[in-house]
Structure 1
Amino acid sequence: MSNQTDDKNKPSLVKQASLQIVAGGSAGFVEVCIMHPLDLVKTRLQIQNKKMVRNTASSASTNEIYYKGVFDCFRKMCQHEGLFSMYKGIIPPIMAETPKRATKFLCFEQYKRFFMFGSDKATPLAYSLAGLGAGATEAIIVNPFEVVKVTLQANRAKSTEAPTTFTVARQIIKQDGFGLKGLNKGLTATIGRNGVFNMIYFGFYHSIKDYFPAYEDTTHEFLRKVGIGFLSGTIGSIFNIPIDVAKSRIQGPQPVPGQIKYRTTCGSMLTVAREEGFGALYKGLLPKVMRLGPGGAIMLLVYEYSYEYLKERFL
């Protein structure tokens, strides 16, 4: 009799999934609004080729500018393209982040349930496999937005003169269609990048969190989760950045217009390492860590606190 009562009191899977979608979407929206400028700088650093770009003091064209690092990129973008250039390409991620993060957190919870194989407690392997599956799933949804975003971020015109999101999307579709040469260019790289990141991100966060006891003090507990979330995002970024560089090269402008140099994920990584050195595979690591370290903490905290609030409010 008591088992029947417990089953009735359990929230339905549909209700839980709905709250996970809302909490995940909220986490994505907050994170992208705060951290987008660092994502833009990361892309600029990743797509530039030092051997093909020469930075001269008398340069009249922004296409000839070479960025020496994160702060140099910020300075030169503000100088040549205006302050609001820091938010170039933000519309695609805003449009994508809500369904993307909602999908990621929803899929993570469901994949975790699957990989627990009926057990009451998830193992580190279950967390990691669930993260891998969630990252691959979200990549399929978000890749068209990534192609448009990278195209916008690579454009060096002043922010007032840059093409709009919808203009760029229409142009890509008109020229190359919706397939793997057009709006879904670099899909394999996006799947690899997101899959590796989320495998480490979720696997590390949920496994390590259990080793450090929760604090009763809300401030200390908040800081504990921030620290673990920051570390999870940082480690995930370090491991997946070579794939991220390949993705940016595939989806960004090719060195010679009309000639496709970067085609496949592994081929692009080999080309970059051969022509520019192994270290080039880690271009953009600093802004990526600066974004996904705190960004990873922001996402997990917004998700967890939002989900707990929604559960108390609606379940």
Structure 2
Amino acid sequence: MLVLHRKLTCVAPLERLKLEYMVRGEKRNIFEVIKSIATSQGLRGFWKGNLLNILRTAPFKAVNFSAYDTYRKQLLKFSGNEETTNFERFIAGAAAGVTATIICLPLDTIRTKIVAPGGETLGGVIGAFQYMIQTEGIFSLYKGLVPSLISMAPSSAVFYGVYDMLKSSYLHSPEGMQRIQNLHKQGQELSAFDQLELGPVRTLLYGAIAGACAEAATYPFEVVRRQLQLQVQSTKLSSLATFVKIVEQGGVSALYAGLVPSLLQVLPSASISYFVYEFMKIVLKVE
């Protein structure tokens, strides 16, 4: 939890920049946006909504990784194969993403509301929660659920699938098989850090690649979802209508607004996530 807190706090400014483009429809270049936030809100403005992001991401990551392992093992047991196939990896990843999204979406909706224009007047997390319940009802916390599921299923499928394929490819290579043999020989003599099957650098690298692939592949769905979360009941549009509106107002490029800061955030975030995931499995002796 402490590692996750520090990781999210470090990349929070990039998350804030992404939301400026995605939620507020910012058109200026990234340096002008940075200057604007610093001038109007000071350095603290770059960490706006960071606490809620931590509270949202911690359970989301926990549920996601845990669900993926559970689904993958069940699929492996069902198929009777010795090793998970690429198709099973993608299916398990998609199912894990859907599970985590359904459980954790309300916190993400509240966070989007706080960061959006006028969000500072809602009185923080509790105030935003009460406002949404009183004015729009409990189901308003699940605004954008459909595009969330549509984006998270393939995103998680790519995230886990790409990483596992890269990992499997390496472990079946001569270098990888030699490393596994060495690990088995030395066994418990090694520290948890040295017991990483891919090694520290390769674990971080493969995690970054998987995260970047997942983010780029499904980013337009994320833009649509954020816009849906900001809609009020009286002017609510469907997912498709929102998609069309975004393209009409800003062109196809509007579907990728904020992608650069998002990728800059995802690279270290995905790397550290997978590193901690693999490391803790060794520490906790999880198969």
Classify 1:74/1:32 alpha carbon distance in 2 versus 1 (closer, same or farther; 3 Å): same
- 1:289 corresponds to: 263
Determine helix, strand or coil for the equivalent of 1:121.
Answer: coil
**Does 2:1 correspond to 1:39?**
no
Query: Which of 228, 240, 250 is residue 250 of structure 1 equivalent to?
Result: 228
* Cα distance in 1, alignment partners of residues 14 and 126 from structure 2: 23
Further displaced range: 163-172 or 267-276: 267-276
1:91-129 Cα offsets, whole Å, 9 max, x none, are 322222222111111110111112222222111111111
Q: 1:273 aligns with which of 247, 256, 262?
A: 247
Judging changes above 3 Å, is the alpha-carbon distance between structure 1 residues 307 and 233 closer, same or farther for their aligned structure 2 residues? same
Correspondence for 2:65 among 91, 105, 111: 105
**Superposition pairs for residues 1-315 of structure 1, below 5 Å?**
28-49=4-25, 66-116=26-76, 117-155=79-117, 163-179=123-139, 182-213=140-171, 214=176, 218=194, 221-252=199-230, 254=231, 259-260=234-235, 263-311=237-285
Residue 177 and residue 236 in structure 1: after superposition, are their counterparts in 2 closer, same or farther (change >3 A)?
Answer: same
Structure 2 contact 12–47 (Cα < 8 Å) conserved:
yes
Distance in 1 separating the partners of 2:275 and 2:32: 31
1:32-86 superposed Cα distances (whole Å, 9 cap, x missing partner): 333222222111101234xxxxxxxxxxxxxxxx552333322211111121111
Contact 1:88 1:153 in 2 (8 A): yes
Change (3 A) 1:207 1:30: farther
2:226 aligned partner, one-letter code: S
Matched residues in 1 for 2:136 and 2:33: separation?
31
TM-score norm. by structure 1 comes to: 0.76
SS at match of 1:212: helix
Q: Which amino acid aligns with 2:84?
A: A
Q: Structure 1's 47 and 98: CA in aligned 2 closer, same or farther, altered over 3 A?
A: closer
Distance 2:67 2:4 in 1: 15
Where structure 2 has 5 or more consecutive residues not aligned to the other structure, the ranges are 183-192
Q: Which residue of 2 aligns with 1:61?
A: none
- Note the alpha carbon deviations across 1:191-237, whole angstroms, 9 max, x for none: 22222211100000001112124457959821111111111111111
Task: Give distance in 2, aligned partners of 1:126 and 1:169.
Answer: 38
CA distance in 2, matches of 1:303, 1:90: 22
Residue in 1 aligned with 2:187?
none
Q: Answer yes or no: is the 8 Å Cα contact 1:91–1:165 preserved in 2.
A: no
The TM-score normalised by the length of structure 2 is 0.83
More helix by share: 2
Aligned partner of 1:76: which letter? S
* Distance in 2 separating the partners of 1:128 and 1:79: 44
The alignment's C-alpha RMSD in Å is 2.6
Q: Which amino acid aligns with 2:240?
A: C
Kept after mapping to 1: 8 A contact 2:122/2:128: no
Unmatched segments (≥5 aa) in structure 1: 1-24, 50-65
